[in-house]
Amino acid sequence: MWGGRFAEGPSAIMREINASIPFDKALWREDIRASKAHVAMLGAQGIVSAEDAETITKGLHEIAAEYERDGVPEDWDLEDIHMTVEARLTDLVGPVAGRLHTARSRNDQVATDFKLWVRAANARAIAALGALRSALVERADEHCGTIMPGFTHLQTAQPVTLGHHLMAYYEMLTRDTARFAAAQERLDECPLGSAALAGTGFPIDRGATASALEFSAPTRNSLDAVSDRDFALDYLMAASQCSIHLSRLAEELILWASQPFGFASLPDQLSTGSSIMPQKRNPDAAELVRGHAGRIVGACTSLMITMKGLPLAYSKDMQNDKPPVFEAASLFDLSLAAMTGMIAETTFKPDRMRAAAQAGHATATDLADWLVREADIPFREAHHITGEAVKLADTKACSLEELSLEDLKGIDDRIDEPVFKALSIEASVASRASYGGTAPDQVRQRVAEARERLAAENSPED
Ligand code: ARG
């Protein structure tokens, strides 16, 4: 299609290195959609005759049906999806097909196609995140009062509620959702009509193609429009950050499902067995979600480094934009689906969680706080006294709660009977009722708010 000025055709190596059809055929729907919008505009503007526009549109329609049925043929000589479609159109409708490429270039074409693809990927991410966030909220609601150890440094710190822990992930994923939504807003300008790099001399109507493709407006600078891949990076960055959150959640499920923890049992449908150890039940899905995060972040890094230092406008390096986005998107979609299944179906083990919360002197801070509140002891001194109590409990191999009043008075005389009320893990979590704290009532309020928010997100706005 560009052979006019060449005496010889490309070598086999040139054809191979140049071909993007093996991966960009994934853009066929977007390519045909954008071509239909373009030719309709060319017809409306009288740049091509109404008759030719109709012939081309019918041809494009037929190609879509063929691809839907048989897949996209992969001919390296045709280089990419844009030329593949155009060549097929020529087969079908003859030389009139050549009018389709009036007032456009593959440079604005690929930017438009890819933007349409990424827009759909953002929308899928937002919807899948909605499902995962709902699953977290439902499980949190079930476990507002379930006590587990809260950790810092992975050491038992203070008792928390499982509901509170799950809602922490709801918060992360809510921020991720906002990142995809912001990406969606930023990409809302249509590059089509920027042509090769400088715009075109034909009297095109860019507003018409923009609205036919459901963009708010055309892009304002043709050089930027054909060389901008920020929309793909926005997607990859949002997916990277989200996949980091998913991998943290996956890691916790892996840990909780391990025998020494025993806090959870992952659903059969998302676990695998071992071919040699019959007792095993491996958390493979969670491990792969954790692993996929590495590949998604890698894809983001790959495109950032591809774009770095490219002069305006289009350079062929940019053809390498698609594989990382396609790969990341399929890993990310799968990760969200797997995680939603795991959250919805995991069996939590409240007894084990409770026992672990009891075991780690998790209410030591409550003892110190009691000394401050009830005996007016400065916190630093209270901290020291509590440390003595923990030491004694360790020596006696019992919990703080199981120490006798005599034991405690032996450490500090100001300690009294009512202290025992503060030492239970129930009292401990109930007392942390500051806004955003772990107290069951607080968690219940956050769950109710989250439910309202999810319902609002799902109801169509007018
Ligand atoms: N296959 C190319 C890509 O994916 C399409 C644009 C080609 N433009 C060009 N001037 N060679 O980026």
Q: Whose CA is nearest to atom 2 of ligand 1?
A: 319
Q: Whose CA is nearest to atom 1 of ligand 1?
A: 80
Query: Is 274 among the residues known to form the active site?
Result: yes
Q: Which of 353, 447, 445 is nearest to 142 (CA)?
A: 447
Asked whether 369 lines ligand 1 (CB < 6 A), one says no
Distance 75 CA to ligand 1 centre (A): 16
Q: Give 233's contacts (C-beta < 8 A, 6+ positions apart).
A: 300, 303, 304, 307
Residues of the chain with pLDDT under 50: none
pLDDT at 386: 95
Candidate list 49, 258, 274, 404, residue with the active-site label? 274
Asked whether 107 lines ligand 1 (CB < 6 A), one says yes
pLDDT at 282: 87
pLDDT at 4: 80
| Domains, in order of start, for the chain | 14-102 (1.10.275.10), 107-349 (1.20.200.10), 357-457 (1.10.40.30)
Check if the beta carbon of residue 198 is closer than 8 Å to that of residue 187: no
Distance 107 CA to ligand 1 centre (A): 6
* 3-state secondary structure at position 156: strand
Per-residue tokens: 451: 């439910």
pLDDT at 461: 67
Asked whether 106 lines ligand 1 (CB < 6 A), one says yes
Asked whether 30 lines ligand 1 (CB < 6 A), one says no
Asked whether 318 lines ligand 1 (CB < 6 A), one says yes
Buried b (16+ CB within 10 A) or exposed e, 186-213: ebebbbbbbbebebbeeebbbebbbebb
Question: Could you give the angle at the alpha carbon of 64 between the alpha carbons of 63 and 67, nearest 5°?
Answer: 85
